[in-house]
Chain A
Amino acid sequence: MVAGLLALSLVGAACANDEDTSASDTGATEPAPGGEVDCATVEFGCVEVASGEPIQVGTLLSITGDTASLGLDSQAGAELAVDYLDGAFDGTMGQVLGHDIEWQHEDDGCSAEGGQAGGTALSTNESLVAVVGTSCSSSALGVADKILGDLGIPLISPSNTAPTLTDPTAHNPFYLRIAHNDRIQGAIVAEFVYNELGLMSAATIQDESPYTAGLAAAFKENFETLGGTITGQEQINSGDKDFKATLNSLAPGNPEAVYAPDFNPACALIAKQAADILPDATLLGSDGCLATDFLDIAGSAAGGFWASSPDVTAFQEGEFYTDEFLPAYKEAVGTEPTSVFHLHAFDSANVIFNAIEQVAIENEDGSLSIPRMALKDALFATEGFAGATGTITCLDTGDCASAVTIGLYEAPNWPVEGGEGDGAPTYSATKSLADVA
């Protein structure tokens, strides 16, 4: 019975698709650029999408555990991109070349093990075209980027920021990211601490994951170049609750600022415990800290904690973000955003859809052939793409955010659910990778 209904609906969808395809065919005058590809011989082959079947796209995001607020936020952003394919957030899903988009959502666990498990789960799907992910750099670096890259599946991250991922020595040729590179974030935070807050000494705390280690290193390098002193560098275990001893051991250096890029609850607990131990130090965290959880857990200790993050007010130009995207997000998810990378995920998905449209071969029978190598080349050739986060131009090393605006937000005035005030950053600066090289 159910199978019969499914078959019927498939036939229905197929008919609709045929009409769509013919309509777009009359619109397009030039043949698809991928038209010359011979799927039998080309490296990694093609993904065949039968007439009326959906194009399968994956997500590999941190959707469970302590960092679920990060991954679920991005997942919502990616799904909204499909809704918007037809030009409106109306709940009706749009299509790419007359085909629906079907998501396969997997969990990156915000760890290398999670990236391994989720990446492997995705890699068994032969029809998978591309993946939006990962949430956490540790899930991608050498794990998910390799598992998927070895099969010719591009991985586009909305929120990985660790510098190593796009470092020429470690970059996987199928890995791209829409999120900023932390060389930029670290530099802007260092400038903010030294120039704006006027603090001359700082200590760093990181948990040795690629994300936090990369940020702490970028901060240290830039802070010292500016003339500041690093009084201590501590490492913690992610998952710990007790940071008092670590904070105590930073106390002899008497740092004016403590930079602790991490995720929650670590950020929030550090903020809470530092209030007793380093009462005079200014605490700063990263975009991983800037989430609803932080405000919940840190409570009254949240006040005065700075988090750096993509400047969402920079997105608000053109009112697309406030007038269209945010209402649609609230409609779909039920709350204000819980993190700050939903728009990056939205762009990640759109960059993928755009590349599919460029390279997919539309066969006579309404089916699609998507050559994997050509898709990858099209992704890396993305130039001047008008994304919601800004203009997207992908470099050979996978960095697609060309000029990045990073804001510093003082808690509790944060642009997430549970924040107070207008959610505007106190300080904001724009840099490109060339500025921090």
Chain B
Amino acid sequence: MADQQGAGVAISDMRMSRFERLPWRRIILTVLSIAITIFVVVGAYRTLSLPEGQRYTPELWANFVVEGISQGALYALIALGYSLVYGILKMINFAHGEVFMFGAFGSFFFADAFSRSGFLDDSPYLAIAILFLVAMTISITIAFLLERIAYRPLRSAPRLVPLITAIGASLFLQNTARGFWGQNSRGYPLPSVLDGEWTIGFVTILKIQALILVVSVVLMIGLQLLVSRTRTGRSMRAVAEDREIASLMGIGVDRVIVTTFVIGGALAGIAGVLFAMLFGSVDFFMGFKPGIAAFTAAVLGGIGSISGAALGGLLLGVLRSVGPALILTGYGVPSPFQLRDAFVFVVLVFVLIFRPNGLLGSSAQEKV
């Protein structure tokens, strides 16, 4: 730098301007991406070349991936709720994590009663279906009320206002649950049909993880069909594109917005039951972390896009589960899994540097 300036007096203006005309943004991004690649490759190489005994076995890597995918599928289900609402209202519904929590916590009382009476193990399929229905009903009710009471009156307010309201609603719902049901964790029963695991080759998958995968794939395909093939879906896309024009075309905007919240609530309710079964407990604060993770997933994939939310969720799950072990272990970081949330956020920052609208997001048009 000093040399440049010292010589600057003598040299022509042309050289200076050439210096300024360099594509700095591209250079910085290139250097950054090379640095990241080196960091990742070296870390992964060092992890994989650890001596026998300290090294993770292929079975373990498979476990990490399976865990990542199944948790990622849950994040994706919650992320869809964020993404749908954002697509339509351009608003982050920060209370969505609490919609999820209410579904899980509400169904807990049924699950507990079913487990005590033996119904959960005697006719598990019916019992699980009832739990899903209960959780969906509760989550839909909460999402519906949220839209009606907290968001609709503020729809024409500046964008920051509903955002702050959403944070307020989130705290309100959390503390309502705390007031109703206390602050202790409760053990969520797992039906015995879902207890255990299947081994396919050297891949072990817990039955509950398999259920999560199946349920979330079915729901995501269903949602994609709903949005792309049905009348409701077409209205949703129209409202997302331009609310005023859609209204002029005779689309009931209020109804479409309510429908969006209801769909998001239903997905969150199902995710709540699956999450509670996977980790075996519910508490009033359980919506916070998955909520943040799902929001991150939605941003990672490109907020406003359905396939983006799905991709973001799965990617986030796998990154959380595989990333710290694969890369940080190589650098001798003790207990790398402690850093998995930090790891995910670092990845998010880099993704946003390279693709500010997320992986599948586009700045020109925001899809539902």
Contact = CB atoms under 8 A, between A and B. Distances in A.
A107 to B, nearest CB: 12
Contacts of B286: 241
Interface in A223-267: 233-237, 241-242, 244-246, 248-249, 251-253, 264-265
Interface in B299-340: 321, 324-325, 334-338, 340
Contacts of A299: 187, 189, 280
Nearest to A299: B187
Given A68-B183, A242-B71, 20 more contacts: A64-B183, A66-B184, A233-B334, A234-B335, A236-B337, A241-B281, A245-B321, A245-B324, A246-B337, A248-B60, A249-B60, A251-B60, A252-B54, A252-B60, A253-B53, A268-B281, A269-B281, A277-B63, A298-B280, A299-B187
Nearest to B195: A300
Contacts of A277: 63
Contacts of B279: 241-242, 269, 273
Contacts of A252: 53-57, 60
B98 interface: no
A245 B325 contact: yes
Pick from B55, B206, B281, B286 the residue with the most CB of A within 10 Å: B281
A304 to B, nearest CB: 16
Contacts of A268: 185, 187, 281
Contacts of A241: 279, 281, 286, 289
B186 A296 contact: yes
Contact of A69 (B57, B64, B71, B184): B184
Contacts of B325: 245, 249
Nearest to B290: A241
Contacts of A265: 185, 281, 283
21 contacts: A66-B184, A233-B335, A234-B335, A234-B337, A236-B337, A245-B337, A246-B335, A248-B63, A248-B64, A248-B67, A249-B56, A249-B325, A249-B337, A252-B55, A253-B53, A265-B185, A273-B279, A276-B197, A296-B186, A299-B187, A301-B280
A147 interface: no
Interface in A31-46: none
Given A265-B281, A276-B206, A293 B67 contact: no
A109 B71 CA distance: 30
Contacts of A272: 280
Given A236-B335, A269-B279, A296 B64 contact: no
Interface of B: 53-57, 60, 63-64, 67, 71, 183-187, 189, 197, 206, 279-281, 283, 286, 289, 321, 324-325, 334-338, 340
Task: Identify whether the interface residues of A are mostly helix, strand, loop, or mixed.
Answer: helix
A394 B54 CA distance: 45
Interface string A340-359: 00000000000000000000
A65 interface: yes
A293 B185 contact: yes
Interface residues of A, number: 34
A241 B293 CA distance: 14
Nearest to B334: A235
B280 to A, nearest CB: 5
A297 B337 contact: no
Interface in A90-129: none
A230 to B, nearest CB: 13
Contacts of B63: 248, 277
B183 A293 contact: no
B183 A237 contact: no
A234 B334 CA distance: 7
Contacts of A65: 183
A249 B54 CA distance: 10
Contact of B187 (A68, A276, A297): A297
Max chain B Cβ within 10 angstroms of own Cβ: one of A234, A248, A299 = A248
A237 B55 contact: no
A339 B337 CA distance: 30
A249 B289 CA distance: 22
